[in-house]
Every structure is written in structure tokens, then in C-alpha cells.
Structure 1
Amino acid sequence: MTAVPVALRRRAEIVAADAASGPLVDTHGRVHRDLRVSLTDRCSLRCTYCMPEQGNEWLARTSILTLDEIEEIARVAAAAGVRTFRLTGGEPLLRRDIVDVVARLAAIEGPAGPVEIAMTTNGIRLPEVLDDLVAAGLSRLNISIDTIRRQRFADLTRRDRLPEVLEGIAAAAASPLRPLKLNAVAMRGVNDDELVDLVQFAVDSGAQMRFIEQMPLDAGHTWDRAQMVTREEILAALSERWRLTPVPGRGGAPAEKWLLDDTAHEVGVIASVTAPFCGDCDRLRLTADGQIRNCLFSMAEYDLIPVLRAGASVVSDGAPIDRAGAIDAVLRASVRGKLPGHAINDPAFLQPQRGMNAIGG
């Protein structure tokens, strides 16, 4: 059997007594119940704020986690109290085994019962796979759409595929998946004149629109704070059309929500830059190549590959360490290393080397 690297062995020894014995609580008291699982770093679009059109350095296919490996990690995470698994990318629907991924994860039960499976997608393949995804156990769906103007969409994504995205949204609207959420990154001079139109489109589709402040997560590191449309600007624009009433009880959710007039329709804003919600963050992230990240902006990653590909069990000083215990050890090490916040507004802030497509949303 293969020996475990020293750093991993030490992490396993530190938490061996606590493995699978309690929730994932960091040193700031935050309980982690959400794992974002990136299935691939590849995407069918090339959004300007996410990745270059050409010259992308893709993860080697041999480094991408297999379905068995994803399920193994998910079962350990669920045993430690993770209740929601959100499948992301890149574009998760590019995984040929996406229906099997959903089915295998949806069958997992944790201490609180069955887990919930959510997905964030650009919607392009939804019409052909949505029925199978629902049957497999998909619970919730977020679809990214930054504009409903075809030429603008083509310019922004470098692909003329808006009709396919709209077909995907229509398929989702006709499905039983609720709440259906549409995500848009608000950008100055790009789509900031379309905020009201996007909300109305979401309302007409039976969906909730959520605007996201643009974050420094592009692969080209070209983020410019001046191009970001702030939370206050978004709310001011929407207030010209609707009366906004705050929805209480946000908890650990990333989006603040408001009711539109006296209806049940809602709009959300994820203000990671101007109104960080780090104090209530309950999320971890698993990259497509097996790294655990405790924050979108973390400079550290915790490698699960030595455990996953070391054989039936791993060995420390001649004694076997249970694989589940070793995975649990890595999860807990990541949680313990989580900082109080992402420090975007600190002058010393450094953007992560990975772009959003490689981290997972």
C-alpha cells in the first residue's frame, strides 16, 4: 500500500479522534452544511468576466475526479453534517455522466436525512437532460443569464447561444424544480441598463432574479472595481420600478432578498464585495481535481487526491487509516484553516490564481 504524505498523515492524526463525530465547525463558530462540487473546469461559453476566449489551460482529464471519487467524498461530507451539494463547473452539464452524478449523490443520507442536490448551469443542455435530472433526484436549479439581448449575449459570452439558454430556462420553468433562480453578474456599461428587464423576464418565467456583484475571480486577472455595479446601485435601479420590501431570515444564504411590490415575487442581491456575508458563510468547495477550498478567495487548497488514489486504504507508520477518516481529516483541516473573511477590501488582498471556472461557483 502507498504511504500517505507527511502533511496528510499529520492532519489525519490530529483529527483521528474526532473523525465523523460531529459537524464541521471552524474556529469562528461557523457550521458548514454546504459543499459546492465542481465537476469540470470546461464551459460551453467564454464569458469575458470569467475566462479568456483562447489560451485556457484546462485541467488534465486524468486529474478530474471520477464519479466514484465524488460519491466517496460526498458520503463523508454528509456524515459530517453537509446537507446540500451544489453541482457547478465550468459547466456541469458537460459531464457525460451528469445524470449518474445526481442519482448517486441524491441517494446519500446524513444524520438529518436525505441530502439536497442543487445545480448551477448556463442551461444550454437542459432541454435534453432535465427530465432525467429531475428523476435522478435534482432538487433545485440556478441558471446563469447576464442579458436577454442576443447581440449583447454574443459579445459577453463570445458565443451566439442565447436562444439555447432561453430554451433551457423555458424547460426549467415547466419543470417541478422550485425555487428556480436566474443569476446575472451586474456590470457597468455592459448590462446595467438591463436590470429591470432581467427582473421582469424572471418574473414572467416564474423565477427569482439574483444579481451578483462582479468579483475578482476572472482567469485573466483583469477585474476592475470601477466596472462593478454595487448593491446600492442595483437596488436604486430596481426601486424606480418596484417597491422593495426586505425578506427576513437570510441565515447563511449568499443572497439578500426583497419582495417586489405586494406580490410573492422576489429579487436577490449577492453583494460579496460591498456587503460581505462571511460571518454567516457555511460553504466549502471541492474543485474538479480534488482540492478542498474553504473560501472562493482562499490562497490555500487541501488535497484529497493522495487519499483517493492511494488504494483501498492509506498507511501511516505501518498502520492503516480508514479512507473515510482520512477524507474527514482533510475536510476538518480545511474548515479549521478558514479565515474570518475574504478581505477583498483590504489593500493587501491577492486574487486567487485559479479563475472561477476552475474553482467552481
Structure 2
Amino acid sequence: MPDTDRSALLAEFAASGRNHPYLAFTLNSLCNLDCVFCKPRCMPDYGHKDRPLSAGGYAAIAREAGAWKVTKAHCSGGEPTLRRDIVQVIAALADGLGTGASIGLTTHGNLRRGLTVDQLADAGLTYLNVSLHSLDRARSAEIMGGGDPDRARDTIDAALALHLKVKINCVVQRSYLRDALQVVRLAKDLPVAVRLIELQNIGPASAIFGKEYIPEAEVRPHLEDWLAGAGHVSRTELGVRSPGDYLQPDGWAGSIGFISNSSCATCSDANRIKITSSGVARPCILHNRDIALKQHLADGTLDEAFAHLFRAMLDRDGNPAWQGFHYVDYDLRWDRMRRPQGAPVTLPVLSTGSCGRPSAGEAR
């Protein structure tokens, strides 16, 4: 693609006022735990039948993304640290996007033997998201189907010692609300953002949603003493691009965040380009313009693929289902989950009114 064509499309994108896209990679579907709201092993594509992208593939995608001014890549799974080449993948993304890029990883924190946070940081990792839903070993195992919260804490401490930005993801369930509040207290002494995430009525979580869902509005009164007089922390300051509201109680080292996609229409400027482990790119979950990147990798036409992706993100405003926001982050981790083909998808959108979220112009 001529540089003039790329520049013209980038200028059009900038003029739209949208946050610039970032890459959200699902590196695998494998996980050695079995969280009650995830249940990866019950998914029909558990383990993936298709060959995943190689470190070289990620490097090529990152180099092309860099030409499109993309400066962030986030990796999740499954449990991405189960990939034997995870250090090479992180290095490929960091090298491809270049100096100053933000490279992140979501993990349950129980790193496999032989893998350390130091190795990931040396490869170019700049921030770490750790899933932690209880500090009690037995109750944590009930939620996550195994694992050890003390090992997750060790991972968090190691990341902080290396000056990585750290966020803790805690899915709130009614039966484990006290556990979530204990996790929140970690932010009192640690410079972390603890994010309280509402349960979503999707995938395996649908089986427990009626019993365990508790909205942000019911959680906040339990935090009243901490949040009284708390100051807002901008997502730009935290280096966060996902939707949410972040507050820092007086005297706390860290902050408390709310990710409430079930009760609040929070994602007014979604800007993730999701890429599955086998290389299927999805620029918008409400607009069916998926594009398989493997053939473009083979043909050397990634520039055409990225032009398609940027154009699809701009065109989604014409999708009648979007209405400026969506309220559920549909789970697209699995390559073979059924998606309509052809015309843009029209999905129902629940309008819940204003939740006092930051404006669309602030970084997610």
C-alpha cells in the first residue's frame, strides 16, 4: 500500500475522534485452571484444531501495526504463559512495535516452572494483569478450579519490583463478595489497580449468572468508607484502555476500578483489534468483518489487511445495533464459535443510561 494511502486513512481515522486501535491477541485457548465463569475445557474448540500463529507471525503483524501507528499489544488466552514460546512472542511484539510500545499480558499468576516475570520483562513486557478472585487458598480453588493465590501474589510482587505496571482483575460473585473486598485491600499498600469486574451473562458464566451476578451499584456501598473523598484516576495515567471507572482512596498506594459491562454501557469507543490464536482478526465485535491474517502473511499483503481493519472500525458507526456503545464484551476467544457470515451483524443493545463514565476521548 502506498504511504500516501495509509496516511490518508490514518488521517480520516484521527479526524473521527476515535482512540487509536491496539492489538488484543488471544495466544491460546489452553488453561491449566478451570474458573467457574470461564470453564475452558467445556468449549468445543478447547485446545484449538488450527495451528496457532508463530512468534515470527506475531513479529510480522506487529511490524505492520507499527506502520499504522499502533503502539500497544495485549496478550491473553486461555493462559498465555503456557505457550512454550511466550518469551519469544513478547519479544517479537515489542520489537515489531518499536521503542516506547506498551506490551501487556493477562495471566492467573501461577507461572509454569522455568518461566519468570524477569524473563518476560527482559523480552519487553511493560505491564501485567493478574486474575485474582480470593486470597483464601480453599475459596480461590473453588472459584478457579485450582491454583494458589500466594503464587499469584509472588508474581505481582515480582512485577512491581521490576517497575511493571500491575492491574489485578477480580470477577465479583455474590457468594464471594467478601473475598473480592479482601482483594481490593491489596491496593491500600501496593501501587496496583484492582479492577472489580461484573460477571457477564455469556458462555459458561450463563449457568451461574442468575445466582452470582451482583451489579456495581450493590458493590459500591460495601466500599463506602474507602471511596468517600476518593479521587478519580484517569485511565491515561494508569495506561488503561479498557472501559471503567478508577478511584484512589485517600492515602492508598493504588486504585479501585470498576468494569461493569453488564450494568453499564461503558464501551463507547472500543478500539481493540482482536486476533485469535490462529490469526483471525476482528476489528469490532458488533460488525462482522473478520479477516484471516495467515494468507496475508503468506502473500506479504498485511498492509491490505490493516487497511481493511481500520476501514471496518470506521464503518461500524453505520451498524444500527451499535448506537454509540455496546454493553457486553462477547467472548471471542475461540476460533470456531459460530458467527454470521456476509452482512454486518446486528445484535441487540441494552440501553442502561449514563453510568458516569469518562468521555470517549480518554484512553482506554
Rounded to whole Å, the distance in 2 between the matches of 1:159 and 1:272 is 27
8 Å contact kept, 1:195–1:238: no
Shift of 1:307: 1.9
Match of 2:219 in 1: 234
Q: Which moved more, 1:69-78 or 1:242-251?
A: 242-251
1:128 maps to 2:115:
yes
Shift of 1:48: 0.8
Q: How has the CA–CA distance of structure 1 residues 147 and 30 changed in structure 2, closer, same or farther, with 3 Å as cutoff?
A: same
Match of 1:327 in 2: 305
Q: In the TM superposition, what are the counterparts of 1:191-202 in structure 2 within 5 Å?
A: 191-202=176-187
Rounded to whole Å, the distance in 2 between the matches of 1:234 and 1:299 is 35
Rounded to whole Å, the distance in 1 between the matches of 2:334 and 2:207 is 13
Q: What do residues 66-123 of structure 1 show as CA deviations (whole Å, max 9, x unaligned)? A: 111112122222221221111111111111111111112112346xx63211111111
Match of 2:258 in 1: 269
Match of 1:259 in 2: 248
Rounded to whole Å, the distance in 1 between the matches of 2:13 and 2:137 is 45
1:35 maps to 2:13:
no
Instruction: Give the TM-score normalised by the residue count of structure 2.
Output: 0.77
Shift of 1:138: 0.9
SS at match of 1:194: helix
Shift of 1:142: 0.9
8 Å contact kept, 1:217–1:356: no
SS at match of 1:87: strand
SS at match of 2:264: coil
Match of 1:222 in 2: 207
The one of 195, 206, 209 aligned to 2:194: 209
Q: What do residues 179-204 of structure 1 show as CA deviations (whole Å, max 9, x unaligned)? A: 31111011112x21223311113434
Structure 1 residue ranges without an equivalent (≥5) = 1-11, 314-321, 346-350
8 Å contact kept, 2:24–2:74: yes
Which AA in structure 1 matches 2:174? R
Q: How has the CA–CA distance of structure 1 residues 152 and 259 changed in structure 2, closer, same or farther, with 3 Å as cutoff?
A: same
Q: In the TM superposition, what are the counterparts of 1:33-182 in structure 2 within 5 Å?
A: 33-51=21-39, 54=42, 56-60=44-48, 62-109=50-97, 114-125=100-111, 128-177=115-164, 179-182=165-168
Consecutive aligned runs of 4 or more in structure 1 exceeding 6 Å deviation: 356-359
- Give the superposed CA RMSD: 3.3
Higher helix proportion:
2
SS at match of 1:257: strand
8 Å contact kept, 2:135–2:183: yes
Q: How has the CA–CA distance of structure 1 residues 344 and 138 changed in structure 2, closer, same or farther, with 3 Å as cutoff?
A: closer
- Return the structure number with greater relative CO, CA threshold 8 A, min gap 6: 1
SS at match of 2:310: helix
Q: How has the CA–CA distance of structure 1 residues 28 and 278 changed in structure 2, closer, same or farther, with 3 Å as cutoff?
A: farther
Match of 1:287 in 2: 276
Rounded to whole Å, the distance in 1 between the matches of 2:259 and 2:51 is 32
Q: How has the CA–CA distance of structure 1 residues 344 and 210 changed in structure 2, closer, same or farther, with 3 Å as cutoff?
A: closer
The alignment of Structure 1 onto Structure 2 pairs a total of residues equal to 326
Rounded to whole Å, the distance in 2 between the matches of 1:328 and 1:46 is 35
Rounded to whole Å, the distance in 2 between the matches of 1:139 and 1:169 is 13
Taking only the aligned residue pairs, the percentage that are identical comes to 25
Structure 2 residue ranges without an equivalent (≥5) = 317-321, 338-364
